[in-house]
């Protein structure tokens, strides 16, 4: 009886994980191990939203440091380069107060283009055009959130989405 349990346990362990993610569950990193560092210059901003490029760049750098094995370095020292451009920022009213007519909930949507380039061979690792994300903020009472709260929320969401795109393709 104990032998059967031990054999069943060993069989489950040996067949459940794989070093190759295409072969099942894997305990290896989701990020390409051939790269060691990333340079992230300040994103370009072609929209009318001021200062959003600085917020987004800072959020992307912090997200890379927190979730990936890559170091953030200057472009001359890095293996890879992550660049981006904010194309547009749109505000959409979700609901209005029946009493005052002021916006209760506003959705901020940001569209960006970004590219992650291999500086060693000049190739593109990943890139997306018209990559968008949205976040909600509440400018009305009692919250009275300024637009910067919406911009902060969208910068956090976009940075997480960009780092998700940096994962190795399966």
**Mind listing the pLDDT tens digit for each residue in 3-41?**
776 767 666 665 655 555 555 555 555 666 678 999 999
Q: Is residue 22 part of a domain?
A: no
Domain count, the chain: 1
Angle separating helix axes 147-165 and 52-67, nearest 10 degrees: 40
Does residue 143 sit within a domain? yes
Cα atoms in the Cβ-side hemisphere of radius 13 Å centred on 106: 21
Whether 19 is in a domain gets the answer: no
Look up tokens 């399966």; give the residue: 170
**Cα distance between residue 93 and residue 142, in whole Å:** 17
Q: Is residue 88 part of a domain?
A: yes
In terms of residue numbers, what domain contains 101? Answer: 31-165
Is 18 a domain residue?
A: no
CA distance 33 to 128: 22
Q: How far from each other are the two terminal CA atoms of the chain, in whole angstroms?
A: 40
Residue 14, in any domain of the structure: no
- pTM of the predicted structure, to 2 decimals: 0.78
Domain holding 52: CATH number? 3.30.160.150
Tens digit of pLDDT for each residue in 107-116? 999 999 999 9
């Amino acid at each position: 009886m104990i032998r059967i349990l031990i054999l069943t346990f060993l069989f489950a362990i040996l067949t459940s994980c794989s070093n190759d993610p295409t072969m099942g569950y894997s305990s290896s990193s989701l990020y390409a191990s051939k790269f060691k560092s990333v340079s992230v210059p300040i994103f370009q901003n072609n929209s009318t939203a001021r200062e959003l490029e600085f917020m987004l760049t800072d959020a992307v750098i912090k997200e890379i440091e927190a979730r990936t094995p890559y170091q953030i370095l200057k472009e001359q020292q890095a293996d890879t380069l992550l660049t981006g451009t904010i194309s547009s920022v749109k505000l959409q009213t979700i609901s209005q107060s029946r009493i005052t007519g002021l916006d209760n909930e506003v959705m901020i949507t940001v569209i960006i283009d970004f590219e992650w380039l291999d500086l060693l061979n000049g190739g593109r690792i990943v890139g997306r055009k018209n990559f968008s994300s949205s976040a909600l903020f509440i400018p009305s009472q009692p919250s009275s959130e300024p637009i910067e709260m919406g911009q902060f929320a969208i910068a956090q969401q976009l940075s997480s989405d960009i780092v998700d795109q940096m994962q190795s393709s399966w």
